[in-house]
Every structure is written in C-alpha cells, then in structure tokens.
Amino acid sequence: MRLNEIRDNKGSTKPRKRIGRGIGSGTGKTSGKGHKGQKSRSGVSIKGFEGGQMPIHRRLPKRGFTNINRVNYIELNLEKIQNLIDSKKIDPKKAINHKVLQSLGLIRSKQGKIKLLGKGSIKSKIDIEVSASSKTAKDSVEKIGGSVVILEKNKRTTNQDNKTEV
C-alpha cells in the first residue's frame, strides 16, 4: 500500500451542503431559513421572549440564599473505615490522617475538609485526624479505646486581635 492509495472508509464522509446555490438545489433563495422575520436573521436568539409580555423568569419572585462562607465537608462514615480495615487497605495501628485517605483515593484535593460521621459501627481501635466529627462518631471511636483528633481551624483575625496597646 502506498500513500496515494489510502482512501476513507465508504460512508465515513458526506459532501457539505451547498446553501444558496439556486432554486434547483433545494436550499437556494432563502437558504433553508424560510421567509422574513426576526428568526430568519443570523445571530438572533430570543429565548424567554413572550411577545412583549413580561417574561415568566421576571414575573416570578426570586427566592433562596447562597451562603458564600459555607464549608463543604467530605463525608466519611465509620462503616467505610471498618470496610477498609477489613480489606487490609488501612492499618488500624497507624494514625489515619489526610495523607492516608488521599492515597486511598477517598479525597481528591489537599485542601478538602473531612467530617467523620457515625453511620455503621467500628470494631477496631483507631486514631483518626479529621476536620470535624459528629458526636455519635466520636463516642463510638472513644468507646472502643480509639481517639478522634479535630484539626485546628483557620480562625480569621479580627480588628481587636490586631490592636496594640501603647
């Protein structure tokens, strides 16, 4: 086979549609756009236009609130930790921290905050470091002799903290 003998597979390409090339082509004169009017012009998008009436998205009241300071936690249940211990992916004698969970693929980013939740039960004694924990999860871990370490939160400094006395 030579380079000049290479061809596309049959049916893999179609000839382009030649628009506006006479009435006999089927797409001549108005080029498939119909006759006159705003929608026949190029670049017109009138989504939500209701013929001069106030559009529904402006008639309905705005509702809700988005908190810009919301903290999104990655949820981690006791049941999940116990399954990882049972499958020997986590060593319960070593501390379970952010690096261990990231290496297992449970957390993607380095900045992700983890919250320990109490769904399921845990049988192994563990030492775990998380950003937050529910009361039931903390009680369950401490009941079997383990510990839950809540990592330090980055507190914002207020103007009072920055003042110096003379």
**Among the ranges given (35-49, 81-95, 115-129), the one the predictor scored with the smallest mean pLDDT:** 35-49
If you average pLDDT over every residue of the chain, what do you get? 85
pLDDT band at 6 (very low <50, low <70, confident <90, very high): very high
Predicted structure pTM score: 0.54
CA–CA separation, 126 vs 92, rounded Å?
5
CA–CA separation, 115 vs 34, rounded Å?
59
CA–CA separation, 141 vs 144, rounded Å?
6
48-58 burial, b for 16+ CB within 10 Å, e for fewer?
eeeeeeeeeee
* pLDDT digits 0-9 by tens, 101-141: 888 888 888 778 889 998 988 888 889 999 999 999 999 99
162 membership: H or E segment, kind and range: helix 159-162
pLDDT of residue 162: 54
Domains of the chain, first to last? 73-150 (3.100.10.10)
CA–CA separation, 83 vs 134, rounded Å?
19
Asked if pLDDT for residue 78 goes beyond 80, the answer is yes
% of the chain residues with pLDDT over 90 = 28
**Taking the CB of residue 83, how many other CB atoms lie within 10 A of it?**
13
* pLDDT digits 0-9 by tens, 13-24: 999 999 999 989
CA–CA separation, 102 vs 148, rounded Å?
18
pLDDT of residue 157: 47
pLDDT of residue 154: 56
Q: Is the pLDDT higher at 35 or at 159?
A: 35
Asked if pLDDT for residue 28 goes beyond 50, the answer is yes
Average pLDDT rounded to a whole number, residues 89-106: 86
Closest to 141 (Cα-Cα) out of 118, 161, 162: 118
Asked if pLDDT for residue 144 goes beyond 50, the answer is yes
CA–CA separation, 128 vs 143, rounded Å?
14
Q: Which two tokens stand for residue 98?
A: 């952010």
Average pLDDT rounded to a whole number, residues 69-80: 90
CB 27 within 8 A of CB 20: yes
Query: First and final CA of the chain: distance in angstroms?
Result: 90
Q: Is the pLDDT higher at 162 or at 62?
A: 62
Tell the burial category of 97 from Cβ atoms under 10 Å away from its Cβ (0-12, 13-18, 19+).
Answer: middle
Q: CA 96, 82, 94 angle in degrees (round to 5)?
A: 25
